Amino acid sequence: MHILHVVGARPNFIKAAPLLRALGAPAGARHALFRQTLVHTGQHYDAAMSDVFFQQLEVPPPDFNLGVGSGSHAQQTAGVMLALEPVLLEQKPDLVLVYGDVNSTVAAALVCSKLGIRLGHVEAGLRSRDRSMPEEINRLVTDQLSDLLFTPSADGDENLLREGIDPAKIHRVGNVMIDTLVRLLPLTDAHLSAQLSTPYALVTLHRPSNVDDIPWLRELLATLADLSSQLQVVFPVHPRTRQRLDGFGPEPGLGSRLRLLAPLPYLEFLALQRYAAIVITDSGGIQEESTFLGVPCLTVRENTERPITISHGTNQLVGRDLQRLRAAALEVIKGNSILQKREEASHHRVPLWDGHAAERIAEIILRGAA
């Protein structure tokens, strides 16, 4: 059975790594049955956001790199479709696996649907109920076109059933991103910066609602700078965010109170996240990772497609309310927050977020191939 994986952005690499390993593992007939091809669309083309992840995650070099690069959502999606179609026609895979909710994911889903190639969606069923988010459109379309839907949690199953998806297509397997975290967490100590003072806050921001609104971004940075008087604030800056910052420059004195870093490889970032006193983010994956790690997380969004990180984890939505962000952060710093503390997290982990999701996916695919 020939399985072709399509990845295009940092979270895809983290999710694909354990599945590439599980499908290639010499476990009974599994190893002999599967031939794998890896296609990198080039949606993220910065070496710090792409190439180094393959190295740290021990993923083999891609068999194909489509080199699509940046552009508008329409340009990027169309670029992936145009470049991927001849690869699929040449390779003739039995199953294409796509990951998450990026433009590469929906582009591959559309091409597979037109060519009649079976499609599996890893991390299916997540919904924010906010169609102003391009990722929400990508999720909805990909799930409607998929033949196998691998969900990370019960809410994903419920969303898909509500949308009329055949229950036979839905498989709750857990979270493959947590598989990677569990495997590589023991390596993080060697990658922790000796220059950091503790405690510290870890910040990531990349969504258009936060970084494309320049007045809001200025105010948000000022709030982070204000928090840095209470504890060090470490901010690895996504390339999209860096472009916005370069456009207006930081406020006078901001750099001395708020550490702006280049994008970090996976292990370095995971080390920072593991020992952070608090995480402030707009990333979906980081909401999940912080929940598993037991680190309080404040999400600068009005909604989340991962509500289980609130009900079972350490995540709290603060929206676009800087007073709420400041107050919630100070509560965590003072130790008065209602968020679960790190030592309590092991008793509240999400079911099936145990490091074995990829193995469950591999067994489901194996049963279908037998």
Question: Mean pLDDT, to the nearest integer, of 113-123?
Answer: 98
pLDDT tens figures, 211-263: 889 899 999 999 999 999 889 999 999 877 888 888 766 555 565 578 888 88
Task: State the catalytic residue, choosing from 206, 238, 312, 347.
Answer: 206
The pTM of the full predicted model, rounded to 2 decimals, is 0.92
pLDDT tens figures, 137-185: 999 999 999 999 999 999 999 999 999 999 999 999 999 999 999 999 9
Q: Cα separation of 104 and 43, whole Å?
A: 7
Beta carbons of 149 and 98 less than 8 angstroms apart: no
Asked whether residue 306 falls in the same domain as residue 212, the answer is yes
- Whether 180 is covered by a domain: the verdict is no
- Whether 212 is covered by a domain: the verdict is yes
Question: Mean pLDDT, to the nearest integer, of 75-85?
Answer: 97
Beta carbons within 10 angstroms of residue 222's beta carbon: 15
Asked whether residue 85 falls in the same domain as residue 24, the answer is yes
Asked whether residue 153 falls in the same domain as residue 13, the answer is yes
Q: At residue 347, does pLDDT exceed 50?
A: no
State which residues form the domain around 54. Answer: 2-175+352-369
- Residue 315 phi, psi dihedral angles, 5° rounding: -95, 145
Asked whether residue 89 falls in the same domain as residue 150, the answer is yes
Asked whether residue 169 falls in the same domain as residue 202, the answer is no
Asked whether residue 20 falls in the same domain as residue 150, the answer is yes
pLDDT higher for 261 or 193?
A: 261
Three-class SS string for the chain?
CEEEEEECCHHHHHHHHHHHHHHHCCCCCHHHHCEEEEEECCCCCCHHHCHHHHHHCCCCCCCEECCCCCCCHHHHHHHHHHHHHHHHHHHCCCEEEEECCCHHHHHHHHHHHHHCCEEEEECCCCCCCCCCCHHHHHHHHHHHHCCEEEECCHHHHHHHHHCCCCHHHEEECCCHHHHHHHHHHHHHHHHCCCCCCCCEEEEECCCHHHHCCHHHHHHHHHHHHHHCCCCEEEEECCHHHHHHHHHHCCCCCHHHHEEEECCCCHHHHHHHHHHCCEEEECCHHHHHHHHHHCCCEEECCCCCCCCHHHHCCCEEECCCCHHHHHHHHHHHHHCCCCCCCHHHHHHCCCCCCCCCHHHHHHHHHHHHHC
- Whether 181 is covered by a domain: the verdict is no
How does residue 30 score in pLDDT terms, banded at 50, 70 and 90? Answer: low
- Whether 91 is covered by a domain: the verdict is yes
Asked whether residue 243 falls in the same domain as residue 110, the answer is no
Asked whether residue 16 falls in the same domain as residue 142, the answer is yes
- Whether 205 is covered by a domain: the verdict is yes
Asked whether residue 157 falls in the same domain as residue 263, the answer is no
Q: At residue 370, does pLDDT exceed 70?
A: no
| Structural domains of the chain, count | 2
Active site residue 44: no
Asked whether residue 109 falls in the same domain as residue 219, the answer is no
Q: Cα separation of 304 and 246, whole Å?
A: 29
Q: What is the CATH number of the domain that holds 358?
A: 3.40.50.2000
Asked whether residue 73 falls in the same domain as residue 204, the answer is no
Asked whether residue 196 falls in the same domain as residue 168, the answer is no
The set of residues, in sequence order, having a beta carbon less than 8 Å from that of 280 and lying 6+ positions away, is 201, 202, 203, 204, 224, 297, 298, 300, 325, 329
- Whether 93 is covered by a domain: the verdict is yes
Q: Cα separation of 206 and 153, whole Å?
A: 25
